[in-house]
Amino acid sequence: MQQDGCMSSMSKSVTLFLRLCQGRLLAARDPEKVWRVGERVTNLLQKASRMPAGIHVQKRIVDGVPVEIIENNSVHANKQQTLLFLHGGGFAFGSAANYRAFVARLCKKSGIARAWVPDYTLMGKAPFPAGLNDVIAVWKALLLEHGQNELLLAGDSAGGNLSLALCHAMNASDQRLPSRVYLSSPWLDPSLSENDIRPEVVDAFLGRNEAQARDWLKRMFATPYANHHNPENPLISPLLGDLSALPPVYVQCSANEVFMIDSLRLVKQAQQLGTVCHVDVWSGVFHDFILFSPTMPEGRAAFAAAAAWLGQGEVRRPPVFQTRIRQLSSPV
C-alpha cells in the first residue's frame, strides 16, 4: 500500500518536543547519564498523563517483584481477561508508575478487567537476565492467580523485547503462553545482526540516520544490557529464536524508526512458519508514537486498533489513515 508521509500538526509538535528531549540524550557520552535523562523525560510525560475514571490501582510485591495491578471497574469490563503489560525504556528506565495512565486507558478502551504492570529490574541495578527473570516470575504468579482467565500480553520498545523473550522462555519450559500479544515499536534484535541499513532514513525519534542510531543504541543500551552474554541469545534478541510456537502477534511501528526492520523481519519469518502475525508500519510518525494517543490523532487511531486486538482479537485498521499504513500479515 502506498505510504503518505504527511504528519498531523500535533504529530509535528510532539516530534519537536521529543527532538528537544533527545538532544540531551545524544549529548550524554556515558550510558548511565543517558539513562538518567531518559528517566527524567518519562517522569515528565507521566506528569502530563491523566488517569481515566473508574480505575483502581493496587501495589503488590509478587514473588519479590513490585507490581502495579490496575483494575477496570467499568460494568462493561470483561472479568475473564487479564493483561500483563511490560513497559519500555531501553531496559534502563521507565516504571509501572510512568505507564499507569496509559495502561489504565488501554484497559478501559479494550474492556480488559485488569492489568499487571511489573517494575522489573532495570539494567542499572542488574543487567540481563535479571529483568527477564522478574517478568517470568510475575507471569508464573499470574498463571496461578488468574489461570482461569484469558491471559494477554503487551509491551512497547524494550518491553516488546521482553514480551517475546517471555514467550520463548515459557515455550521452552512447556508452560502456558498468552492468547495473543501486542507490541508497539519493539526492539527485537539488540544483537543488531541485520545489516540492511537504510542510509537515507533519519530516525524521527533520535534525529540520526540509521547507521548512527544503531551505533548509539549499541553503546548506550545493547552492550550494557547483554553484559558479556552472547547478544544472539534468543532471550536477549528474541527475533533470533523459534517463532513457530508464538501466539498471534499484532505489531505497530513507524517507518521512520530504526527498529522498523525488526518488525518486518518478524512478519517475514512468521510467513515462512505459518505463525499468525500482523504488522502495521506507519509513515509520518516516530518510535512508540502510541504513547501520545491522548494528543495525536495518529496515536489515537493506533491505540484504538491495539485495544481491539487485545480485547477482541480483531485487527481493525483505521480507515482514515489507510494511506499511511503499510499492512503486512501472516499467513497471507
Query: How open is the CA angle 287-292-294, to the nearest 5 degrees?
Result: 160
**pLDDT (tens digit per residue) in 54-99:** 999 999 999 999 999 999 999 999 999 999 999 999 999 999 999 9
How many CB atoms sit inside 10 A of residue 144's CB?
9
Give the pLDDT confidence score for residue 176 in this predicted structure.
98
| Residue 241 and residue 189 in contact, taking contact as beta carbons nearer than 8 Å | no
Q: Which CATH number fits domain 9-330: 3.40.50.1100, 3.40.50.20, 3.40.50.300, 3.40.50.1820?
A: 3.40.50.1820
Give the pLDDT confidence score for residue 218 in this predicted structure.
95
Alpha helices in 55-154 (DSSP H): 100-110, 130-146
Q: Name the residue ranges covered by the structural domains of the chain.
A: 9-330
Give the pLDDT confidence score for residue 3 in this predicted structure.
36
**pLDDT of the chain, 332 residues: tens digit per residue:** 223 455 555 556 666 666 666 666 667 779 999 999 889 888 887 877 889 999 999 999 999 999 999 999 999 999 999 999 999 999 999 999 999 999 999 999 999 999 999 999 999 999 999 999 999 999 999 999 999 999 999 999 999 999 999 999 999 999 999 999 999 999 999 999 877 788 888 887 787 889 989 999 999 999 999 999 999 999 999 999 999 999 999 999 999 999 999 999 999 999 899 999 999 999 989 999 999 888 889 999 999 999 999 999 999 888 878 888 999 998 85
How many distinct helices (H) and strands (E) make up the chain? 9, 9
| Residue 24 and residue 17 in contact, taking contact as beta carbons nearer than 8 Å | no
d(C-alpha 295, C-alpha 317), whole Å:
19
pTM of the entire structure? 0.93
